[in-house]
Amino acid sequence: CGFHLRGSGLDANLLVHSAYVTGGGGTAAQVRNSLSLTPHITLLNTPATDALLIDVLREDSRQQVLTLTSLGRVSEYRLFYTVNFRARQGEQMLIDNGSISLYRDYTYDDNNVLGKTNEADTLIANMQQDAALQILRRISAASRNAAPVSSDAH
Amino acid sequence: VDPKPPVHIEADQVSGQTESGASAQGNVVVTQGDLRVESEWGNYDAPNDRLTGGDHVTMTRPGSVLHGRTLDYYIQRHEGTLTDPDYAMSPGKMRGDGAELLFEGEDKYRIDSGRATSCRPGDDSWYLHASTMWLDYTSNSGVAHNGWIEFKGVPILYSPWMNFPLDNGRQTGFLTPSLSFDNRNGFDLTLPFYWNIAPNYDATISTRYLARRGLMMGGEFRYLQPGYTGVLQVQGMNDREDQATRYSVLFQHQQTFTDRLWMAVDVQKVSDDSFFNDFGERAAIASQTNLPRQVLFGYNGDNWNSNLLFQRYQTIQQTSIPYARMPQLTFNANPQWLDGVRTGVSGEITDFTHPSLTNGVRSWVYPTISMPFVSNYSFFTPKIGVHASNYQLRDASGGNSRNESRVLPVVSLDSGLFFERDLDVGGNALTQTLEPRAYYVYIPYKKQSDLPNFDSAVTDLSFAQLFRENQYSGNDRINDANQLTLALSSRIYTANDGIELLQASIGQRFYFKDQQVTLSSNDQPSSASKSDLLLSLGGRFWHDLSADYTLQYNTEDRKTVRSTAGLTWNPQPGSIFNLRYTINRNQSPSTEQIDVSAQWPLTRNWYGVARVNYSLPDKQPLDAIVGLEYNAGCWGVRLAAQRFITSDAQFKTTYFVVLELDGLGGIGSNPVNALRTAIPGYTADFDGRQQ
Amino acid sequence: ETGDREKPVNLKSDQFKADQKTQVRVASGNVIVTQGTMTLRSERLTSREDAQGSQFMSGNGAPVHFRQKLDSGEWVDAEALRFEYYGDTGTLKLFDKAWVKRGKDEVYGDVITYNTTTEIYEAQGGKSGDGRVNITFQPKTKSASQPAAASKPEAK
């Protein structure tokens, strides 16, 4: 049915071999983690001129009541996670103010606040992984488009 | 370069001495730089740079057009008077007239016994009258003394001192009052006073009169500094009806000491259980059952970080109280020793205290090693770890101290493949992935029923939890596992910028032996051979239509355990329709609700807003808001009625009426916050909407 | 300056014709009239004396140019296509595309009457020109409130 094995995330045709990521949040850590696992890319500790520069500018999470029980208590929370990022390669701005927003729902239980807060943390970690993957996929798509432009202006 | 541009006079007739000035008659036009004054006659006194002119003066400058009878104006000093002024300012589109207009410096005007509006000429819907009014376009602030608002000819509000922004920036002064009515407090009038202390400090002091309860004073103080930011909110009153002093305090502060060391404080307290029911907004009411009192310190090392948390809760409206963590020290690191080997260690020491349940100091450490084999189209990650915990327990009264410990090896194997193909749908290039994934976990069984439960909970089964070692959150329960999770997901995203449009996933976990660890000792161990089936589907179908569907299906007894279906149609700002169905049989009692919310233009100026959250088992809406918004260009009305359940299972109905005068702010209680939480995607401001 | 009117008037031109009977003299061809600090250039000039001996002159040029030093030391320049000068009142009338410049201040108009003794001018928009008068005041370099001290004459 037309499917063939090809990488996802930062795949082969990315023309860059080194990357540097700024940002102190969980998504930035996940991006660093995925980059360090990608075979032909070295993760740098300091920015280099021709390296891919990924700035994870802002990450924040917000919670909103989604549904109530008939006793007026919270039955479900919706957890939002938004990430703002920017990607540059040398002088070329690949993605200027990219943003990703995700959400997960989880049921709430007033009688187990600590347990449910820990569950919220696991969902945030999951969204951070998902956001990191989406960031890398957008960067590889953007650099695939940017590459031909820079080499042979048609 | 000549700092001051020359004064140029053109007229039918001019007489005078060039050095000393001139008087001109007949269609006089005086220009100086970007100032232009036209009048029937005009005199210019050159030495004093003073221009007088009369009978039908028109004075234009970028940003303002003034008409009047006579003008007496010192050009360079921008001082002088204009009688019978009729003015129109272009920044902020304020116009009006008055007895006299005084120029008090560049872009600073004072209008005596005048009136102002932001409506277009010819539209006299509302005016702000004032004995004296200052329009200061250097600080974009307007002040009115003895001001009263006339709406459609009817005086509706008097205020000795009113302040309004000229560019809807932050403004010191009386925000327009808000009044509403509800079944708990009766008539409810709030008069906020906004004090813009400094660019990074501001305060809002509000006096709130509640018909049944009396006068409540409230204050919110906010500060924003490079290194720290925070907010302090205090409300208090002597409640006539309950014969008690009632108050609420909230203090939240975030500070970064260095780029590695930070702190966050969140302290909240209320005087009594039903404070929020009586005085709070809906969202605040329902979710406020445990108010945190915590201070959290964090340190981010290069590839390690650590947090120190002091946390206690004030619990309102219920019996069970969460454990206090005074303190909790967490640590995790993933040092890089060997290339291709991932080592990580996390740990925690916490002192859990509780008035009645078992107290204790729990400490655990969880080192892990994994060897990820990653290629462009696959990954294979074996991982082993040892979770070792130690409990020093004692009863709430301090007696019966005992030690417990638990050491469990954790072995997991995560693997997956990535397939891709290119698609062309309707002319745009898409890429579709197919991602099979298999995840095996082995954890031996260790009896944990005599361990307390400080911070563990059964997590909802979701794709996030499918690929976790432990189905319990927290660290008091580690499930025994010999299970394999299989999942297949497919994503479609645009080829040129990689934005995810659609996503579909299906997954299930297969247990090769019974799961004996339970949350509490009186739960039954499960002997299921496979978990519920998980299915999720979602994404944007067209640029303005998106939908999502999740299903948790029990394949044994062939019934839905949990499912949600949602649809959002948002063709343009100001037109949105949301539909959401949710059913959850995991909860007792199970919930099944339909949530419909919409904001839709009814006519060119009328908008309908509505939301109903209908609970099927209870056969009644738990939260309903219905309202109308009328936009007339320079003013608008929003009326809304909201009926919702409060956390003491009673209903509260609130009526909102607000008259919004463009440029002056709103008068009346503003339902925008309630609408924004009730209707996802609701746009409040009128300008953004297509007329 | 004020003393100019007592000074002798002399006249140079390419052609000169005097009619004893009517006391009318006609000069044509780059006519230059000087009296003290006042000079007046024109193409054609007719002048005659009245009974009291004061001059009346009129003429035209392309354009006529008038220049005189003021008591304050500043120079006044003026031009127009046609002029009339009344010696008795010291009034100069300029017609058609007339302008008067003093220091950096300027007046444009169709009809400008300039009184050389009082230094007062009157400018009217005539029917023939665009009917408008223009006058420009250069801001004083010093703050306006000080008395206007004499400014240096501008080199012509």
Check residue C155 and give its pLDDT.
Answer: 34
- CA–CA gap between residue A35 and residue A29 (Å, rounded): 10
**C-alpha dihedral sign at B396, B397, B399, B400:** negative
Check residue B281 and give its pLDDT.
Answer: 62
Check residue C147 and give its pLDDT.
Answer: 38
A151 confidence band (pLDDT: 50, 70, 90): very low
Q: Residue B181 CA to chain centroid, in angstroms? A: 25
- Render the burial of C29-46: b for 16+ CB within 10 Å, e for the rest: eebebbbbebebbbbbbb
Q: Burial of B207 by CB count in 10 Å (0-12 exposed, 13-18 middle, 19+ buried)?
A: middle
Kindly state the average pLDDT of the residues B275-296. Answer: 78
Q: Which of B527, B489, B487 is nearest to B509 (CA)?
A: B487
Kindly state the average pLDDT of the residues A133-152. Answer: 71
pLDDT in tens, A10-62: 454 556 788 899 888 889 988 988 888 877 788 888 888 888 899 998 898 98
> Is the confidence at residue B452, as pLDDT, over 80?
yes
User: Is the Cβ–Cβ distance between B594 and B580 less than 8 Å?
Assistant: yes
For chain A, the C-alpha Rg in angstroms (whole number) is: 19
The two structure tokens encoding residue C113: 């009457």
Helix (H, G, I), strand (E, B) or coil at A151: helix
The two structure tokens encoding residue B61: 């400058």
User: Is the Cβ–Cβ distance between B212 and B241 less than 8 Å?
Assistant: yes
- CA–CA gap between residue B97 and residue B66 (Å, rounded): 9
User: Is the Cβ–Cβ distance between B145 and B174 less than 8 Å?
Assistant: no
User: Is the Cβ–Cβ distance between C5 and C87 less than 8 Å?
Assistant: yes
Min mean pLDDT across A110-119, B148-157, B358-367, C115-124 is at C115-124
Q: Which chains pack against C, by 3+ Cβ pairs within 8 A?
A: B
Query: Could you tell me the end-to-end alpha-carbon distance of chain A, in angstroms, rounded to an integer?
Result: 34
A105 touches chain B (CB under 8 A): yes
CA dihedral B47, B48, B54, B57 (to 10 degrees): 100
> Is the confidence at residue B78, as pLDDT, over 60?
yes
- Give chain B's mean pLDDT: 87
Kindly state the average pLDDT of the residues B222-234. Answer: 91
| Closest CA–CA distance from residue B474 to any residue of chain A (Å) | 6
Provide the percentage of residues in chain B whose pLDDT is more than 70. 94
Check residue C128 and give its pLDDT.
Answer: 52
User: Is the Cβ–Cβ distance between B572 and B690 less than 8 Å?
Assistant: yes
Check residue C149 and give its pLDDT.
Answer: 36
- CA–CA gap between residue B60 and residue B83 (Å, rounded): 15
Higher pLDDT, C103 or C112: C112
Kindly state the average pLDDT of the residues C78-83. Answer: 90
The two structure tokens encoding residue B470: 């432990």
Check residue B252 and give its pLDDT.
Answer: 95
Is the model's pTM score more than 0.90? no
Q: How far is CA A52 from CA A47, A95, A136, in A?
A: 9, 11, 11
C25 confidence band (pLDDT: 50, 70, 90): confident
Kindly state the average pLDDT of the residues B213-230. Answer: 91
Check residue B520 and give its pLDDT.
Answer: 87
Higher pLDDT, C150 or C118: C118
The two structure tokens encoding residue B401: 């101290």
Check residue B3 and give its pLDDT.
Answer: 64
| Closest CA–CA distance from residue A52 to any residue of chain B (Å) | 17
C145 confidence band (pLDDT: 50, 70, 90): very low
- Kindly determine whether residue B459 and residue A142, on different chains, have CB atoms separated by under 8 Å: no
User: Is the Cβ–Cβ distance between B608 and B602 less than 8 Å?
Assistant: yes
Check residue C129 and give its pLDDT.
Answer: 55
pLDDT in tens, B107-155: 889 999 999 988 888 888 889 999 999 988 887 778 888 888 898 988 8
Q: Which chain C residues contact residue B11 at CB under 8 A?
A: 125, 132-133
C63 touches chain B (CB under 8 A): no
Q: Which chain A residues contact residue B322 at CB under 8 A?
A: 112-114
Maximum C-alpha span of chain B: 111
> Is the confidence at residue C127, as pLDDT, over 60?
no
Angle between helices A113-151 and A26-37 (to 10 degrees): 50
A97 touches chain B (CB under 8 A): no
A68 touches chain B (CB under 8 A): yes
pLDDT in tens, B24-63: 888 899 998 889 999 999 998 888 889 999 889 999 988 7
Higher pLDDT, B647 or C25: C25
Check residue B534 and give its pLDDT.
Answer: 95
3-class SS string, A91-132: CEEEEEEEEEEEEEEEECCHHHHHHHHHHHHHHHHHHHHHHH
Interface test with A, best of B328, B336, B375, B460 (most A CBs within 10 A): B460
- CA–CA gap between residue B151 and residue B658 (Å, rounded): 13
B168 confidence band (pLDDT: 50, 70, 90): low
> Is the confidence at residue C117, as pLDDT, over 80?
no
The two structure tokens encoding residue B447: 């009896």
- CA–CA gap between residue B633 and residue B121 (Å, rounded): 12
pLDDT in tens, B401-446: 999 999 999 999 999 998 888 888 888 888 898 999 999 999 999 9
Maximum C-alpha span of chain C: 58
pLDDT in tens, C35-52: 888 888 888 888 888 777
E strand or H helix at A37: helix A26-37
Check residue A70 and give its pLDDT.
Answer: 79
> Is the confidence at residue B663, as pLDDT, over 90?
no
